[in-house]
Amino acid sequence: MKDLIARQLYQPAVVLPLLLLTRLMVTLDFNLAQVMFVMVLKGSQHAYQFALRHTLGRQRGNGAVKHLPCNHCC
């Protein structure tokens, strides 16, 4: 059981979100209200981007939109 837990804890899908949450909590002085506010705000931004891409993806067949840049470029 100990080996199973050790193997699962070192997966990037587990470690990276924990590191990001820890960094955010340290930045905001462990204020849970502010941490939740930032998480909700970032989640709503991701949902908006997803909806925008989904909507514009349907319009691409009409030739209206050629390229929608992502937030992670440059």
Residue spans of the domains in the chain: they are: 1-30, 33-74
Q: What's the pLDDT tens digit per position in 28-62?
A: 999 999 999 999 999 999 999 999 988 887 776 55
Rounded to whole angstroms, the Cα distance separating 37 from 33 reads 6
Rounded to whole angstroms, the Cα distance separating 23 from 68 reads 30
Measured over the CA atoms of residue 36, residue 41, residue 46 and residue 51, the dihedral's sign is positive
Going by C-alpha positions, the residue among 37, 15, 14 that lies closest to residue 25 is: 37
Assign 71 a pLDDT band (cuts: 50, 70, 90): low
pLDDT at 4 over 70: yes
pLDDT at 72 over 70: no
Rounded to whole angstroms, the Cα distance separating 2 from 12 reads 19
Assign 5 a pLDDT band (cuts: 50, 70, 90): confident
What percent of the chain has pLDDT above 70?
Answer: 80
